[in-house]
Structures are given as structure tokens and as C-alpha cells.
């Protein structure tokens, strides 16, 4: 199963996994799961750090590098193919980072690991959370 982290889910996974539902943790730990982190999440984290809306316990790059090395995390760039899938999303949710993550999950046929209730308003988006 291909799993794309929403930014908050990735941050919780790496700093306080007890905040994630146990079923999500089980799936993230499964050898059959492929874990992905989008460039959109890196962009979101960096913007929030610059605006002093996010403070990490260690450098962002260290967190990502550790997950790549220890959990096989794969980094997903943003492509024109992904941006074309934005057209398939109704304008219910305005957050550009969430919209890009949803478009990527559609384009790549991934489950989106997210507790964001807005995302559940999109019937085409497969969400892993409960």
C-alpha cells in the first residue's frame, strides 16, 4: 500500500507517534507499506518555520534523512502531472498544501495519511486515519 503523509501526520509520526491512531501506526509499520513525503510538506514546514508558527526539536533535514534511512521513506517531488490533478478537486478546502497533497494522492493512487476532516469531504481521496 502506498501511503502519502500529510504534513501533520509526518511530524507526529516522527516526534509523537502516540498521537496517531493505532491502526495508522500498524499500517505505517507494515512491510507492505511504501511511505512517501511530498515536497509540498517540506515547503509547508519551511514556511511555517520562517513565520515562527512551527518549532522543531531538531533540524528538518535531519528528521527527513533519518526517516529515509530507517523507514525507507521516499520523497515525492511535485510534477506537472500532479498539478493537473488539482482540476479534479472541488474548491471546498483552500489550503494550497493540502490541495497539492490530495492531487498527488489521486495522481499516484496513494492513500493520504491525514487527520484533517476537510480532506474527508473529497470522495475521491482515499484517507488512512481510523
What is the C-alpha end-to-end distance of the chain, expressed in Å? 16
DSSP code, position 32? T
**pTM higher than the cut 0.85:** yes
Per DSSP, the residues of 55-93 read --SS-HHHHHHHHHHHH--EEE---HHHHHGGGGS-TT-
Domains defined along the chain, listed by start: 2-17+32-121 (3.40.50.1010)
- Quote the mean pLDDT of the chain: 96
Number of CB atoms found within 10 A of residue 126's CB: 16
127-128/74-76 β-pairing: unpaired
- HSE-CB for 2 with a 13 A CA cutoff: 13
pLDDT for 85: 96
pLDDT of residue 13 exceeding 90 = yes
Angle subtended at Cα 3 by Cα 17 and Cα 1, rounded to the nearest 5 degrees: 120
pLDDT of residue 8 exceeding 90 = yes
Over residues 48-67, the pLDDT tens digits come to 999 999 999 999 999 999 99
Amino acid at each position: 500500500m502506498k501511503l502519502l503523509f500529510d504534513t501533520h501526520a509526518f511530524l507526529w509520526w516522527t516526534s509523537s507517534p502516540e498521537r496517531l491512531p493505532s491502526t495508522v501506526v500498524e499500517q505505517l509499520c507494515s512491510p507492505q507499506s511504501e511511505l512517501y513525503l511530498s515536497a509540498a510538506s517540506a515547503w509547508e514546514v519551511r514556511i511555517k518555520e520562517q513565520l515562527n508558527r512551527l518549532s522543531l526539536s531538531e533540524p528538518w533535514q535531519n528528521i527527513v534523512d533519518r526517516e529515509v534511512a530507517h523507514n525507507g521513506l521516499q520523497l515525492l517531488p511535485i510534477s506537472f502531472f500532479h498539478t493537473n490533478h488539482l482540476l479534479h478537486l472541488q474548491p471546498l478546502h483552500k489550503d494550497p498544501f493540502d490541495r497539492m497533497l490530495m492531487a498527488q494522492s489521486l495522481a499516484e493512487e496513494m492513500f493520504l495519511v491525514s487527520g484533517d476532516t476537510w480532506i474527508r469531504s473529497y470522495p475521491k481521496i482515499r484517507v488512512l486515519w481510523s
